[in-house]
Structure 1
Amino acid sequence: MSTRFPRPTLPGSGKDLISDIDAYLASDAMRALVAAFHGDPDGLSGPAATLTERIDRLYEFTATVSTRLEDKERNTADELPMTPDQADTTLAAVTALGLRDELPPRHREYDHVLMLGGLVRACFNRPAYAARLVDDGVVTAAAVTALGGHRAFKVSDESVKDPNERESAISERLGHPELTDEYAALDLGTRLAFGLGEPEGVEGEESPDPAKLPGLTWGVRHYRRGDGLSVRVAAAPSGDPKRRAHTGETYAFFAERMTSLRPGARLLLVTTPIYAPMQHFTAVRMLALPYDVEVETIGGDVPDRAPALRQPFTPTKYLNDLRTTVRALRALAEDALARDELG
């Protein structure tokens, strides 16, 4: 990769949220990416349109370069044909925009460390990375929480063309063929990463029809490590009983049902770099703005993870997640503007 772009401030990590959103939207990296795929970069800046209108234009553009179908898992998407120059520009742009960063935490002490769930690899990689940060003394935390939902892996397996990339096949290669959903995988990945025994307590509710109404099921498993560290694994309920909880709903469940956030508390969110900006924007909207807490989101992987847990991200995969990033940015901008109007 020969092209490089300056890094704009990631919205939610600077002092002026609205100005940072504006600058991120109109950054050299975003403009070059849009231009590389024959979009209109001039639509990203200027006083002729409101901030949300310009984000809408960018979101419309991302539909032309995304291969992920609505309501389908990321691992079911096809590759987008592109030239070497387009691929180079994509990787350079998403690097500047924060989708490839493995940056260290800004602080040492945090009130909460949160690991976000996902498919099988995420459920093992993210807890392992968070545990490494804690065990190596890079960060300390009063509590650690893994946040996910009830996602049946067989649903995504049905649409994955490569049989080796199906969640069932990855679970098999890891030596855990019994893993069939996100909550089970996140619980096992967290227990292995933090060296946990049996839970101290378990709470939750089961859906009367888990196959058709997975969003009604929720659960929390409470653990305590030998050194006293509190670790919890949660599957949040959904606002729509027919689907699993999305990222915003897991944050809401954490804030409303699992803890009492005090103003000024520090939260470190641990995820995969490609998803960090999207999950950060959602966390700023759902946690930082309403609860006046500091939210920091980092992505990373432990270098010695099992081969089955390694996942290369192609330029297409970054473009697909740029679309979800822009959607999260728009929701954040709407809330930030509304709060600004209220004074």
Structure 2
Amino acid sequence: MSVEIARARNVVDEVRSWAESDAMTALLALVQNIRPNEDMPWLHLNEQLPLWLVDLLADKERASSDPTIRLVASLIALEQRAADSFNFRSRDSSTYRERSEAVQADFDDATRARIVECTATLGLIEPKRPALDAYDMTLILGGGFRSPLLRTRYAALLERQGIGLGRLYLLGSPRFLITSEPAERPVTSGYAPDAADEFDLMVAAASSEFDLSPQPVKFLCGCASVSEICPSWRHSKEPGAAEVPSEYTHERSTSLALSDGRTRGSAISASTSRPPYRPDTSDTFALWARYADPTPGQRVLVVTTQVFVPFQRFDGLRRLYLPHGLSVDAVGFGADWGDRPQNAEYLLQETLSAIRSARRLLVDAVAVLLHHG
């Protein structure tokens, strides 16, 4: 068996175990809306299933006889149901909102308590210690408000507790600071007073928590500024590209130096693969893999907020494990750190995020199995 097939099968097993768990079944039974409009999109924003998968699912005989294809179909159906019931950022599945702009539901106390119980089993609530004592590199994921600061602080805490972090990478993006209420700047000004975007927040967090000095910013794309669309941007022909801010098309980095001048790591800023929207976690993972050029078997620790661990682990498996053979471990801090709310709406929303990431991961794994099988 080739290593590619072995990794793809591992992915299939992990997705199956999570998506078909009793906790997921209970959650779906607990929160279930009736689809108001059959024409309402359920895929995220302008995402589409690959045509080869559509054709494969249309082959009823194979779809019913192949357990992996049945899993794909089941996961797609799960995502459709979750998009109806768990989506509090975009109730029409097309309007884009950031997480801080989500709406509220009218759940009773018993339902809310049961949602917490199910999502805890699915991995969204209880922090876990890193699986290993040492890693070759640590990826601290970006975010808004105090998330960059707290995630970097958590990484520093893990290091003080004896976890070897290896080389540090802070993964950000050119996402602008939110100005609508609740606005970011009143929160971020305490640690990043001059920040204009998420990349600036990550750099400031590295300075605050690891005492690292940022070096001059470099354009990985070869441009001189962000004032115009990057000519090397690979998504310029896709729908929505005409509306994308020019800042979202560039890739940047800055080295992070210790007091003695040695480099401890880097902060990087990804371009978007989903115009006209901001870059996401998957974009930053993909840029990091090209930027760091890791080798198969290296151990990667991903640091985030616990509620995001399932979806960001699936993203890490898709971008780092499946194509590059990296060992990916994802950890996060709990709600007691005050980063994100631990309410029913937020937990359901991030369960939907994890389902979507699991589906993308599974589709890529099936593509590997078809190509190498």
Same fold (TM over 0.5): yes
* Cα distance between partner residues in 1 of 2:256 and 2:174: 20
C-alpha distance 36-240 of structure 1, shift in aligned 2 (>3 A): closer
- What amino acid does structure 2 have at the position aligned with 1:123? P
Q: Does 2:315 correspond to 1:287?
A: no
Of stretches 205-214 and 218-227 in structure 1, the one that deviates more from structure 2 is 205-214
Q: Does 2:218 correspond to 1:203?
A: yes
Paired residues, number: 312
1:98–1:276 Cα contact (<8 Å) kept = yes
CA displacement, residues 242-299 of structure 1 (integer Å, 9 cap, x when unaligned): 432211111111111x212111100000000111111110110111011111011111
1:117–1:148 Cα contact (<8 Å) kept = yes
Q: Tell me the equivalent position of 2:48.
A: none
From 73, 82, 85, the counterpart of 2:110: 85
C-alpha distance 264-175 of structure 1, shift in aligned 2 (>3 A): closer
- What amino acid does structure 2 have at the position aligned with 1:107? L
Helix, strand or coil at the partner of 1:270: strand
How far the C-alpha of 1:128 sits from its partner, in A, is 0.8
From 200, 206, 211, the counterpart of 1:190: 206
1:272–1:298 Cα contact (<8 Å) kept = yes
- What amino acid does structure 2 have at the position aligned with 1:207? V
Helix, strand or coil at the partner of 1:109: coil
Q: Tell me the equivalent position of 1:9.
A: none
- What amino acid does structure 2 have at the position aligned with 1:214? E
CA displacement, residues 85-128 of structure 1 (integer Å, 9 cap, x when unaligned): 22112111111111113101111121110001010211111111
Of stretches 327-336 and 54-63 in structure 1, the one that deviates more from structure 2 is 54-63
- What amino acid does structure 1 have at the position aligned with 2:305? T
How far the C-alpha of 1:15 sits from its partner, in A, is 8.0
1:214–1:241 Cα contact (<8 Å) kept = no
How far the C-alpha of 1:335 sits from its partner, in A, is 1.3
Moved over 6 A (4+): 12-15, 46-49
Q: Does 2:50 correspond to 1:50?
A: no
Q: Does 2:355 correspond to 1:326?
A: yes
- What amino acid does structure 1 have at the position aligned with 2:265? V
From 236, 245, 253, the counterpart of 2:270: 236
What are structure 1's unaligned runs of at least 5 residues?
Answer: 1-11, 41-45
Q: Tell me the equivalent position of 1:273.
A: 306
1:144–1:231 Cα contact (<8 Å) kept = yes
1:270–1:299 Cα contact (<8 Å) kept = yes
TM-score by length of 1: 0.83
* Cα distance between partner residues in 2 of 1:218 and 1:31: 41
Of stretches 267-276 and 30-39 in structure 1, the one that deviates more from structure 2 is 30-39
1:66–1:80 Cα contact (<8 Å) kept = no
CA displacement, residues 126-169 of structure 1 (integer Å, 9 cap, x when unaligned): 1111122123322241x100001001113xx32x3xxxx32122
C-alpha distance 92-315 of structure 1, shift in aligned 2 (>3 A): same
What are structure 2's unaligned runs of at least 5 residues?
Answer: 1-5, 35-63, 230-243
Q: Does 2:330 correspond to 1:297?
A: yes
1:118–1:182 Cα contact (<8 Å) kept = yes
- What amino acid does structure 2 have at the position aligned with 1:62? A
2:304–2:331 Cα contact (<8 Å) kept = yes
* Cα distance between partner residues in 2 of 1:262 and 1:128: 27
Q: Does 2:289 correspond to 1:264?
A: no
% identical equivalent positions: 24
1:213–1:241 Cα contact (<8 Å) kept = no
* Cα distance between partner residues in 2 of 1:176 and 1:239: 27
Q: Tell me the equivalent position of 1:152.
A: 176
TM-score by length of 2: 0.76
- What amino acid does structure 1 have at the position aligned with 2:75? I
How far the C-alpha of 1:25 sits from its partner, in A, is 1.3
Q: Tell me the equivalent position of 2:283.
A: 249
Give the alignment's Cα RMSD to 1 decimal. Answer: 2.7
How far the C-alpha of 1:22 sits from its partner, in A, is 1.6
* Cα distance between partner residues in 1 of 2:149 and 2:335: 10
How does 1:138-149 map onto structure 2 within 5 Å? 138-141=163-166, 143-149=167-173
